[in-house]
C-alpha cells in the first residue's frame, strides 16, 4: 500500500510531539513534517538531528521537563495547535507484580501517564483560550490486553492514560 501525505495538510500548524525522537513518535514527527507543520519535540539526551524539527533537551518524566518543553514551544513557535502524546515505554523487570518495587511503579507512571497529564495541564488552557486545538493521546493494546509477567506497570499506566483521555 502506498500512502502519500498531503504536503499542505498541516501548513501553519504548530505541533508538539512528546516522545518524538524514535519509534512511533519519530514516525509521528515525520508525518507532521511531511504535511508542512512546524514541529517541536524533546528527549532526555541529544538525539540525531531531525531536519525541520525544533529540539529541546528535557526529561518529561519530571514536572520541570514539561515546563522546559512548554516554555520552548511558546517561545519558539508562539503556541501549540496540535499536542500529540506518543511518549512511553517500559524498563521494569519481568516477573509480574511481585518483582516490581515502588520505584518501578513510579517510573512507569511518570513516563506513561504523568508526562502527558503535566503537558496537558500546561498547554490545553492556551488552546481553550484561543478557541481551538487538538490533543492526541497514544496508549497501547496492553491497556486492555496486558502481559502480566512482563509489563504489569506499563499496562496499568497506559490503562490509566486511556481512562484519563476520556475526561
Cβ within 8 Å of residue 50, ≥6 positions away: 21, 26, 29, 33, 41
Measured distance CA(143)–CA(72) in Å, rounded: 31
- Cβ atoms of 98 and 105 within 8 Å: the answer is no
Catalytic machinery residues: 154
- Predicted pLDDT at 157: 96
Which residue's C-alpha cell is 503556541? 79
Rounded-to-integer distance, Cα 100 and Cα 103, Å: 8
pLDDT of residue 160: 97
Domain spanning 14-165: CATH superfamily: NAD(P)-binding Rossmann-like Domain (3.40.50.720)
pLDDT in tens, the chain (167 residues): 667 779 999 999 999 999 999 999 999 999 999 999 999 999 999 888 899 999 999 999 999 999 999 999 999 999 999 999 999 999 999 999 999 999 999 999 999 999 999 999 999 999 999 999 999 999 999 888 889 888 999 999 999 999 999 98
Q: What is residue 47's predicted lDDT score, i.e. its pLDDT? A: 85
Q: Which of 129, 103, 111, 113 is nearest to 167 (CA)?
A: 113
Residue 89 CA to residue 145 CA, distance in Å, equals 16
pTM of the model: 0.94
What pLDDT does 132 receive? 98
Amino acid at each position: 500500500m502506498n500512502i502519500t501525505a498531503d504536503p499542505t495538510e498541516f501548513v501553519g500548524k504548530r505541533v508538539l510531539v512528546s516522545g518524538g525522537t524514535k519509534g512511533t513518535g519519530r514516525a509521528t514527527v515525520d508525518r507532521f513534517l511531511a504535511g508542512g507543520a512546524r514541529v517541536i519535540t524533546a528527549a532526555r539526551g541529544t538525539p540525531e538531528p531531525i531536519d525541520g524539527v525544533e529540539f529541546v533537551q528535557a526529561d518529561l518524566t519530571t514536572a520541570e521537563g514539561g515546563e522546559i518543553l512548554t516554555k520552548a514551544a511558546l517561545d519558539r513557535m508562539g503556541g501549540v495547535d496540535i499536542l500529540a502524546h506518543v511518549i512511553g515505554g517500559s524498563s521494569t523487570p519481568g516477573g509480574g507484580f511481585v518483582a516490581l518495587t515502588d520505584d518501578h511503579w513510579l517510573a512507569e507512571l511518570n513516563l506513561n501517564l504523568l508526562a502527558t497529564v503535566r503537558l496537558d495541564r500546561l498547554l490545553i488552557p492556551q488552546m481553550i483560550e484561543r478557541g481551538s486545538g487538538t490533543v492526541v493521546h497514544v496508549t497501547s493494546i496492553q491497556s486492555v490486553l496486558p502481559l502480566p509477567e512482563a509489563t504489569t506497570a506499563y499496562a496499568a499506566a497506559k490503562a490509566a492514560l486511556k481512562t484519563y483521555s476520556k475526561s
